[in-house]
Chain A
Amino acid sequence: MNTDSDLNADLEWKFSHAPVDYEDALTFMEERAAAIYSGTQPECIWMLEHPALYTAGTSADISELVSPDRFPVYETGRGGRYTYHGPGQRIAYVMLNLDKRGRDIRAFVANLEEWVIKTLAQFNVTGERREGRVGIWVDRARYDNHPDREDKIAAIGVRVRRWVTFHGLSINVEPDLEHFSGIIPCGIEEHGITSLVDLGVPATVQDVDNALIATFEDVFKP
């Protein structure tokens, strides 16, 4: 009989400290997703950063790519529109087998959101969901003199292949926020982008890894 600890016991945590090329990451995820489906390799969570680049999700509209020549642009099979990845933004790629975890894609996305919220809470940052806007948001009125501003601090986008997930989430730790201006992130024009450091939290990528690890089991149980 499976217990809670069994479900996560085989999970592999993988950490990359140098930026990973987008194509290499995609190849790894595709191969691992296939191996998870066939049962030959364990589920995996991979923490990494990419060099500065933009990615287009399956519903991306080319009009939202404002500066097409600024960074490399990759078409990708994750859900969502355009996003930016780059140094100072920690990514968790989440390769889990939903066949063992309830076969509920909406619940899986909600769990990713919850995981980010709990991780941010470790830094006393209140991340919030917003109806109709996926990702995690911060009400700037809580932090500084931007009473009417809500900024996005984390993005989510996944692919599901035969109930195995890949792609995942990104949390802005200390990226160059100006780099987001080359796109309309997630198709949402009227709100901004922030990061932990932008909010005055002196967090490092390592701190965010530790917070993600510490909160994972709370969220991803059967």
Chain B
Amino acid sequence: MALKFSEDHEWINIEGDVATIGITNYAQEQLGDVVFVDLPEVGDTLEQGGESGVIESVKAASEIYAPASGEIIEVNEDLDGSPALINTAAEGDGWMYKIKLSNLSELDDLMDKAGYDAHVEELD
């Protein structure tokens, strides 16, 4: 099991060839109150860096991107009725979807926690 981060502010929790993905706490703070989340569907395939959904906050719809390629095997249905979970628990109950990874070597492109924290520090 390993937790990694993308430059686009997604986190990815990897267990074997399955990964759970969400946006980081930093990202939810930048977005403000989330009112709607549009997620991919089970069976969709994602390319690393490609659009994986949309998060709407304060009249701004922001695209989110896949930190790794793979097939969607589960989406967080709770976000339908409770999109604010993204704000209250971005890195926990506010997870967005799970994928079956198709290219494990892509994970080398991602940052660990220390690397991501340094990345965020540079942005502020």
State the A residues within 8 Å of B (CB): 57-59, 77-80, 103-106, 108-109, 134, 156-162, 165
Contact = CB atoms under 8 A, between A and B. Distances in A.
A162 B64 CA distance: 9
Given A59-B35, A160-B63, A103 B58 contact: no
Given A105-B57, A158-B59, 14 more contacts: A57-B56, A57-B61, A58-B36, A78-B61, A79-B61, A103-B123, A105-B30, A105-B60, A106-B31, A106-B32, A109-B59, A157-B59, A159-B63, A165-B60
Interface string B11-38: 0000000000000000000111001101
B63 A108 contact: no
Nearest to A105: B60
Nearest to A76: B61
By secondary structure, the A interface counts as: mixed
Interface of B: 30-32, 35-36, 38, 54, 56-63, 123
Contacts of B57: 79, 105-106
Given A58-B36, A59-B56, A79-B56, A106 B30 contact: yes
Contacts of A105: 30-32, 57-58, 60, 62
A78 B35 CA distance: 13
B30 A134 contact: no
